[in-house]
Structure 1
Amino acid sequence: MLYRIIFMSIVGLLSVSCAQVTDFSNNEAKTDGWLIPSNLIYDGGPGKDGIPSLDDPKFVSLNEAGYLSSLDRLIAYKNGSQIRAYPHRILDWHEIANDDADGFKFTVSYCPLTGSGIGYESVVNNGGTMENTTFGVSGLLYNNNLILYDRRTDSYWAQMLIQCVGGPLRSQRPFYVHLVETTVGTLKKFYPEAQVLSNVTYIYEPEQYNIYPYGDYRSNNDNLLFPVSPDDRRLPRKERVLVAIATQEKRAYRFTTFINNIQVINDKLGFESIVVAGSNGLDFIVAYLKPNPTTNMKNTSKPYPNIMEDDKGNVYDLFGNVTEGPAKGTKLTAVKSYIAYWFAAGAIFPGIDIYGE
């Protein structure tokens, strides 16, 4: 998030005192009665909508997106044959893209400080009536994580908690939209027909998106913009993990677990039987509910975008769609999950389990 950093050297290390970041003078939100501890809510500086959301995103083909390299990370959405991708390089400056894919309205959010990309449907339950909305950047943070606000009711939503934490809709949960984080190179291998955000946004000049605004933040474990609590040091702070969420349990999956080309894990999360597939080299981890608790999911020799198959002869692609077999045309239900930095997972979900440890 471009919190305070926009007033400082974008390549320098940040040094921001608690006295500075708890000054809410640029933000109208009142946090009394919120579901999260007020002492862990920080005002980042730019104020509400000071970081502009993309409300009319434009897309180009992967081949036309010359501003991207094969190693650039992005968040991908698939609906039928349509695949859209939202590069970190763009979302570092906007954090939110309010999109409409053939009438399906949804919001893609990405928090650069916690490395987390999550999708919500752009709808809220306002007094029993489902109403369309868009989301904006509130300027507030919880344990360094983005707090969105909806423009229909002015309620506040903690991104990684996937919950409204303040305002008229407090305690509600948004409708989760499944996204997959990977690289441009992997997306090209799997879905060369995908569309990606254009760097012509008419908000900033295209050249702006060639700049990463947070210096060494992604790699420096000692560089946190705001305090976190608890500060779980079981893993390096900036290690990226998949956070999988069930009602009774949360678990983190490390990329180092997936050392083969693609590795498939049959697991139990709370009361749910799940399958987790990932690849360190291809830079993705995804989690789905198994079609049946007794179904065995395993590696597949089928070509990309397929990543696994089951013992019934069904073959599954990266987004959980059955591409071959008796259940062709159906898809797995995604586990609520997303990639995030470890420090954020450990702070948002204290004591979170780490797979295999």
Structure 2
Amino acid sequence: MRLFAFLIAVSLAVPAAATPDRWRNAWPNTDFTRTAVEFSEIMSGGPPRDGIPALSDPGFIAVDLETRLDPTEPVIAVEFDGAEPRAYPLRYLTWHEIVNDEVAGVPVAVTFCPLCNSAITFDRRVEGEILTFGVSGMLRHSDMVMYDRETESWWQQAIGRGIVGHHMHTDLVTLPTWMESWEEFRSRNPNGLVMDEPGWRRPYGTNPYVGYDSSPRPFLYNGEMPPHDIPPLVRVVRVGDRAWPLTRLAEEGQIEEDGVFLSWTAGQASALDTNRIGEGRDVGNIRVRDGQGADLPHDVMFAFAFHAFWPDGDWMLGQ
């Protein structure tokens, strides 16, 4: 049974809303007296705590030694001064969702939530401590709830904010990284590094959510649909509390608005389309920069998720 079908089957057997009483055995060190959200908004996604195993200190190989990735496969590019550029393939993050690493002396969490198509990299330093993140197995608005192993606080991946526990209301620093095709990354960085295949038994390179980004409705989501007749699973480029529909950016190729410069070029496969990730339909490569050409922190997420977490956000629809 495909994982997507398995999650649907499990979700039918899991109560829609959970309470701290159901969670305390699995989360004995989480302070449930501190919460920034309604507990009724949090539900099980199916897998238990660490059922989706986050990674720490991954191995890397030279770009020219990598032979497994298809040219259009998506990777998360992490390019910091003082370190060789690194690519984190979604063929691995789809199955692990979080990679705890250190790049150029910065402890980072490279994250990907398949249900929201949200790929964000965070600085793991919080209040003078370096946190290590895992996958809680919980969802809120269909988005992954992360947890830190040091305090067992719960964190909302899409917004990088503590929602339950000791770190309630604490915001992680989002770093300027982006998704692009493997071919785009290796052409620009012939001396770069790419994350090596983890030592877990997983069918890496395959998509367990076949056809998800063509679905009429998101999985395990009961909130409002996006305004302006925007389909819920259309990708948007989010910068702060503004969202540019990818349909508009792909049509125009380049947009300059409010100090943000967005560009689109063909050549990146959707990780949530076909069984083989590298054969997914072309959703393009997106870069987001400021007026000086510096990369800006951003996300390319589904429209329903943007509306759920930024209900008063600005939709940059153009004329």
User: Do both share a fold (TM > 0.5)?
Assistant: yes
Q: Which residue of 2 aligns with 1:295?
A: none
Q: Which residue of 1 aligns with 2:221?
A: 227
Q: Which residue of 1 aligns with 2:279?
A: none
2:304 is the counterpart of 1:350: no
Residue 286 of structure 2 aligns with an amino acid whose one-letter code is I
Q: Which residue of 1 aligns with 2:200?
A: 203
Contact 1:117–1:181, Cα closer than 8 Å, also in 2: yes
Contact 1:59–1:197, Cα closer than 8 Å, also in 2: yes
Equivalent residues in 2 for 1:1-357 (5 A)? 8-10=1-3, 12=5, 14-15=8-9, 16-17=11-12, 19-22=14-17, 25=22, 27-28=26-27, 33-80=34-81, 82-125=84-127, 130-199=128-197, 201-204=198-201, 208-222=203-217, 224-232=218-226, 234-245=229-240, 250-259=241-250, 263-265=254-256, 267-268=257-258, 274-282=259-267, 283-291=284-292, 316=293, 320=294, 334=296, 336-357=297-318
> What SS does the corresponding residue of 2:93 show, helix, strand or coil?
helix
Contact 2:34–2:166, Cα closer than 8 Å, also in 1: no
CA distance, structure 2, for counterparts of residue 211 and residue 39 of structure 1: 33
CA distance, structure 2, for counterparts of residue 61 and residue 255 of structure 1: 32
Residue 9 of structure 1 aligns with an amino acid whose one-letter code is R
User: Given the two structures, how large is their TM-score scaled by the length of structure 2?
Assistant: 0.82
Residue 275 of structure 1 aligns with an amino acid whose one-letter code is V
CA distance, structure 1, for counterparts of residue 84 and residue 251 of structure 2: 29
Residue 353 of structure 1 aligns with an amino acid whose one-letter code is D
Q: Deviation at 1:51? A: 1.0
CA distance, structure 1, for counterparts of residue 16 and residue 110 of structure 2: 26
Contact 1:261–1:281, Cα closer than 8 Å, also in 2: no
Residue 230 of structure 1 aligns with an amino acid whose one-letter code is E
Contact 1:105–1:121, Cα closer than 8 Å, also in 2: yes
Structure-2 change in CA distance of 1:219 and 1:62 (3 Å): farther
Structure-2 change in CA distance of 1:56 and 1:231 (3 Å): same
User: Given the two structures, how large is their TM-score scaled by the length of structure 1?
Assistant: 0.74
Residue 47 of structure 1 aligns with an amino acid whose one-letter code is P
Residue 247 of structure 2 aligns with an amino acid whose one-letter code is T
Larger RCO, structure (CA 8 Å, separation 6 or more): 2
Residue 71 of structure 2 aligns with an amino acid whose one-letter code is S
Residue 342 of structure 1 aligns with an amino acid whose one-letter code is A
> What SS does the corresponding residue of 1:164 show, helix, strand or coil?
strand
Count residues with an aligned counterpart: 292
CA distance, structure 2, for counterparts of residue 343 and residue 262 of structure 1: 23
CA distance, structure 2, for counterparts of residue 82 and residue 106 of structure 1: 15
Q: Percent identity?
A: 25
Residue 313 of structure 2 aligns with an amino acid whose one-letter code is I
> What SS does the corresponding residue of 1:287 show, helix, strand or coil?
strand
Structure-2 change in CA distance of 1:91 and 1:38 (3 Å): same
CA distance, structure 1, for counterparts of residue 290 and residue 74 of structure 2: 25
Structure-2 change in CA distance of 1:153 and 1:184 (3 Å): same
Q: Deviation at 1:33? A: 4.4
Q: Deviation at 1:135? A: 0.8
Structure-2 change in CA distance of 1:10 and 1:171 (3 Å): closer
Cα shift readout 1:108-160 (whole Å, capped 9, x = no counterpart): 111011000111112121xxxx0112111111111011111112222111111
Q: Deviation at 1:211? A: 2.3
> What SS does the corresponding residue of 2:211 show, helix, strand or coil?
coil
Q: What is the root-mean-square deviation in Å for CA atoms of aligned residues?
A: 2.5
> What SS does the corresponding residue of 2:204 show, helix, strand or coil?
helix
Cα shift readout 1:157-194 (whole Å, capped 9, x = no counterpart): 11112211111111111122221111112223332333
Q: Which residue of 2 aligns with 1:297?
A: none
Structure-2 change in CA distance of 1:30 and 1:143 (3 Å): farther
Q: Deviation at 1:30? A: 6.8
> What SS does the corresponding residue of 1:138 show, helix, strand or coil?
strand
Contact 1:83–1:195, Cα closer than 8 Å, also in 2: yes
Quick check: which has more Rg, 1 or 2?
1
Contact 1:121–1:174, Cα closer than 8 Å, also in 2: yes
CA distance, structure 1, for counterparts of residue 36 and residue 50 of structure 2: 22
Contact 1:256–1:280, Cα closer than 8 Å, also in 2: no
Query: Which runs of 5 or more residues in structure 2 are unaligned?
Result: 268-283
